[in-house]
Structure 1
Amino acid sequence: MLNIAYVGFGKSTNRYHLPYLKLRQDKFHVSRVVTPTLGKRPAEQSELEATGTVFSTDIDDIIEDETIDLVVVVTPSASHYQVTKRLLLAGKNVMVDKPMAASDIEARDLVNIAYDKKLFLMPFQSRRFDSDFLTVQRVIQNGYLGRLVDLEVHMDHYRPNDGQLNGNEIDGSLFGHGVHLVDQIVSLFGAPNSATYDIRSTRLLNSPVDDQIEVNLFYPQAFKATIQTTELATIQYPKWQLRGTQGTFIKYEVDEQENDLKTGIMPGDARFGVDTPQNYGHLVYYNQSGDRIDKYIPSIQGDYGRVYDSVYNTLVKGMPKLVSDENMITVMKILSAGLKEKGPHVVKFS
């Protein structure tokens, strides 16, 4: 069993991490939680304390505890780099919430420290286990579409009044939403040859915090992957569109896990994360006989807890990390390049 400590006890820890560990108590025990405000979530704190979890306000309590096998950093994005670096230098294995840092330079620094000290380091890329992404992955692997030509993936909302007038670049949509989408593309196709960027602030025009992004990633064999996010979508756009030489796949609805967690449907419930048939993705392709096949693809059930399964398999069984060091650096290079120049621009990667 692995002893875990959390730095941070806010919404993300209690919504996207701890509910999944309740199904994995044979593998993980939450030994410590460090939070700046004790008692802010009294029910959740009491539940963990009843299982032996110790709460405190000082990160040194984690650093000095030699029984801790893994520290999970779930703090505000701007603090990820410094907190993670401090923990790594103290000899702790770390999983850090996304984005892992504010630049590829910071990310490479963390990767190098972990490598030198032979420690585990990985970002919490939970959306590798989104239902919609797993289904897209299956469609690609099965070869329905032939050679891929275009892929579009969106993460859109309608939040017209939530713009930030002040903040850091790491607080914007590129590093907030885009990091998920870029990681999904990199996990499928690796590093692109080049990219074009359109990064804007649309709700508050003078804000330094972007809220609308379009990034085009260009790969060999005339393949392009496009990621887009906006906070001003009143009409839903498809979550995924894939076009290849033999067919097209379109899926509108997103993974249900987040919606279920918000409404109190928890992992382990029979209904949790289940996509309904009317929300299945639509596939049209031509088979080897030239027949036109038109069908809907049942969605693979998502499970963010599989990130923790992968961590366990790496730390206990020596299996490769879910997110490799190369993937981490590639994702951060793509994100960082989007903010190194104002306005639409093109970047070529070596």
Structure 2
Amino acid sequence: MLNIAYVGFGKSTNRYHLPYLKIRQDKFKVARVVTPTLGKRPEAQAELEATGTLFSTNISDILTDSSIDLVVVVTPSSSHYAVTKQLLTAGKNVLVDKPMAANLEEAENLVALAQKNQLFLMPYQSRRFDSDFLTVQDVINNGYLGRLVDLEVHMDHYRPNDGKAKGTAIDGTLYDHGVHLVDQVVSLFGQPKSVAYDLRATRLLESMVEDHIALNLFYEKAFKANIGATELATKAYPKWQIRGTKGTFVKYTVDEQENDLKTGKLPGSDNFGLDAPQNYGQLVYYNQSGDRIEKYLPSITGDYGRVYDSVYDTLVNGAPKLVSDEQMLTVMKILSAGHFGQSPQLVTF
């Protein structure tokens, strides 16, 4: 069993992390939580304290606790680099929420520090276990579409009044929603040859913090991956569209885990995260006999807790990390490059 400590006890910790550990108590024990304000979530705190979890406001309590096997950083994005560096310097294995840093240089520093001290370091890329992404991965791996030509993935909302007047790159949509989408594409195809960026502030026109992104990632063999996110989508655009030489796959709706978690439905309960049949993706392709096949594919069930399963497998059994150092640095390279010039721009890697 691994002893885990959390730095941060806000919404993300309580909604997207801890619920998945409740059904993995044979592998993990929450030993410590450090939070700026004790008692802010009294019921959640009391529930953990009843199982032996120690709460405090000083990160030194984690740094000096030799029984901690893994520290999970779930603090505001701007603090990820400093907190993670502090933990790695103290000899702690770290799982850090996205984005892991504010730029490529910071990410490289963290990776080098982890390698030097022979420590585990990985960003919490939970959306590798989105239902829709797992289904897309399966469609591609099964060869239904032939040689891929275009992939489009979106993360759109309608939040017209939530624009940010001030902030830095890490506060924008590219580092928020974009980091998930870039990681999904990188996990499938690796580093692109070049990326075209369109980053815009569309809600508050005077803002320097973008809320609308469109990235075109160009690969070998005439393949392009398109990544998009906007906060002004009043009508749903497909979450995924993938076209190849033999077929097309389209899925409109997103993974249901987040919606279930928001309503209080927990992992392990009946039908948690399950897609309704009307939300299945549509596959249209030509088989080896030249027949046109049209069908709806049942979605593969997602499970963000599989990130923790992968961490356990790495720390206990020596398995390769879910997100390799090369992949995490490639993602940060793509994010960082988007803010080095004036948008729109094309960057070659």
Q: After TM superposition, is the score higher than 0.5?
A: yes
Between the aligned partners of 1:207 and 1:38, the Cα distance in structure 2 is: 35
Conserved 8 A contact 1:70-1:95: yes
Amino acid at match of 1:242: I
SS at match of 1:181: helix
SS at match of 1:268: coil
Superposed CA RMSD in Å reads 0.4
Cα offsets for 1:133-192 (capped at 9, x unmatched):
000000000000000000000000000000010122101100000000000000000010
TM-score, normalised by the number of residues in structure 2 = 1.00
Report how far residue 99 of structure 1 moved: 0.2
Conserved 8 A contact 1:70-1:94: yes
Amino acid at match of 1:327: Q
Amino acid at match of 2:90: A
Is 1:88 the counterpart of 2:107? The answer is no
Report the equivalent of 1:301.
301
Report the equivalent of 1:231.
231
Report the equivalent of 2:212.
212
Between the aligned partners of 1:168 and 1:39, the Cα distance in structure 2 is: 31
Is 1:178 the counterpart of 2:178? The answer is yes
Further displaced range: 162-171 or 124-133: 162-171
SS at match of 2:155: strand
Is 1:68 the counterpart of 2:68? The answer is yes
Report the equivalent of 1:310.
310
Amino acid at match of 2:123: P
Conserved 8 A contact 1:170-1:176: yes
Between the aligned partners of 2:223 and 2:166, the Cα distance in structure 1 is: 37
Report the equivalent of 1:122.
122
Cα offsets for 1:231-282 (capped at 9, x unmatched):
0000000000000000000000000000000001100011100001100000
Between the aligned partners of 1:242 and 1:226, the Cα distance in structure 2 is: 10
Conserved 8 A contact 1:70-1:92: yes
Amino acid at match of 1:2: L
Between the aligned partners of 1:58 and 1:282, the Cα distance in structure 2 is: 51
Conserved 8 A contact 1:111-1:325: yes
The 5-angstrom pairing of residues 109-258 of structure 1 reads 109-258=109-258
Between the aligned partners of 2:122 and 2:26, the Cα distance in structure 1 is: 22
Is 1:268 the counterpart of 2:268? The answer is yes
Amino acid at match of 1:75: T
After TM superposition, what 4+ stretches of structure 1 lie above 6 angstroms from structure 2? none
Report how far residue 230 of structure 1 moved: 0.1
Between the aligned partners of 2:331 and 2:54, the Cα distance in structure 1 is: 35
Unaligned stretches of 5+ in structure 1? none
Report the equivalent of 1:102.
102
Amino acid at match of 2:55: F
Report how far residue 226 of structure 1 moved: 0.5
Report the equivalent of 2:332.
332
Conserved 8 A contact 1:265-1:271: no
Alignment identity in percent?
A: 75
Report the equivalent of 1:279.
279
TM-score, normalised by the number of residues in structure 1 = 0.99
